[in-house]
Amino acid sequence: MPASPSKGQPSSALRDLPVLLVAVVWGSSFLAVQRVAEPGTVVAMLVLRFGLVLPLLGVVTWRALRGLSRAEWLGGAALGLVLSGIFLLETFGAVHTSATNAGLIISLAMVLTPLGESALGRTAPPRAFLAAAGTAVLGVTLLTGDGGLRPPTLGDLLVLGAALVRSGYVLAMARTRALRDTDMLAVTWVQLATATAVFSVVALSVGPAPWTVARSYGPGQWAWLLHLSLFCTLFAFFVQMWAVRATSPSRVSLLLGTEPLWAAVFGITMAGNRMGPLALLGGALVLVATEWGRRTAPAAAPSPHPGEATVIEPIAETATAGTAGTAGTADAADAAETAGTAGVAVGDRDPRPEPATA
């Protein structure tokens, strides 16, 4: 007779719930971005978003930050520059396309990252994985063509660019020798601080000042901004750090892999996105292909930080990138998207089996 779980040990369902909530909030991040940013205020919003996160994360990482070497600071800063590019592409893309399209297209990082890993290792991916990648391409073509033959929108292309950069971020993260055996929570802070510095410099010449945008926000916009900062970034990051120790990386990866599904749910039900039959078929193919790709991806090189969480969520990261795969995820990359996924982010997100980066 199988032994019953001890009373003090949470059931698998209870352990899975926080991870599933991360996938849900990541899925909502594209909608949240559309609620707080317009094309002219994207950079200012990113300054505000991460300006809220850095002090809180800094309190937790202060001791570890003091122990970082010069090489670790420089390595984290270099990755932070890449991370800033991911967030800029994702966020500008999200305000120029639908929340549904953005959430589905960014999930391609989970397919692109293993392809990059195979290319760098000069090994051929399994045929099943190549079939999954081809299915994903077909799905994106139908999705962005809106069921017709029109070219993708600017927003679609920007988000696709973010997925490509996210995959490169995850691969770079895994190969940055200076950060091996480094406290990844501290490195995450360095990356986010560098990205925020980039946003602050860009904000001097692009769009209104962050404090001007902050004054213009009403209660609803502040609620969405806090959602991005506290839930899509801090909550997601710490849940991943806990989850990869409390459950298996493959289970974490499976649950976080539902993120594009939630992005579609929020886009259709709350943003009013409308999709024709062929576009719906394309979205379904992307979901199937990314899951198929995660299950058939070639084995990734061992992570230099096994068991760590990712940094980059989907736009969110897009922010947490880095580690288990996030941030961002930062996928992830995903650790890939986390800790275990074949994909990206600031953790890949398998960076994600990014890196996020919403």
pLDDT tens sequence across 192-235: 999 999 999 999 998 899 999 999 999 999 999 999 999 998 89
Q: How far is the C-alpha of 291 from the C-alpha of 283, rounded, in Å?
A: 13
Q: How far is the C-alpha of 78 from the C-alpha of 85, rounded, in Å?
A: 11
The mean of the pLDDT values for the chain is: 77
Q: Is the pLDDT of residue 94 over 90?
A: yes
SS3 at position 345 = strand
pLDDT in tens, 268-286: 888 888 878 888 888 888 8
Task: Check residues 17 and 307 and name the one with the higher pLDDT.
Answer: 17
Of all residues in the chain, the percent with pLDDT exceeding 90 is 34
Beta bridge partners of residue 345, listed in sequence order: 349
pLDDT in tens, 100-151: 888 888 888 878 888 888 888 888 888 888 888 888 888 888 877 765 556 7
* Ramachandran region, residue 146 (left: φ > 0; alpha: ψ -120 to 50; beta: rest): left
If you average pLDDT over residues 76-101, what whole number do you get? 93
User: 211 burial class (0-12, 13-18, 19+ CB within 10 angstroms)?
Assistant: exposed
Name residues whose C-beta falls within 8 Å of residue 283's C-beta, 6 or more positions apart in sequence: 100, 104, 139, 143, 264, 275
How many Cβ atoms from other residues are within 10 Å of residue 64's Cβ? 15
- The sign one gets for the Cα dihedral 112, 115, 119, 120 is positive
Q: Is the pLDDT of residue 2 over 60?
A: no
- The per-residue pLDDT for 203 is 95
- The per-residue pLDDT for 96 is 93
Residue 310: pLDDT band (50, 70, 90) is very low
Name residues whose C-beta falls within 8 Å of residue 299's C-beta, 6 or more positions apart in sequence: none
Q: What phi and psi, each to the nearest 5 degrees, are found at residue 63? A: -65, -45
- The per-residue pLDDT for 136 is 84
- Is the model's pTM score more than 0.75? yes
- In whole angstroms, how far apart are CA 353 and each of 50, 117, 137, 347? 27, 11, 20, 10
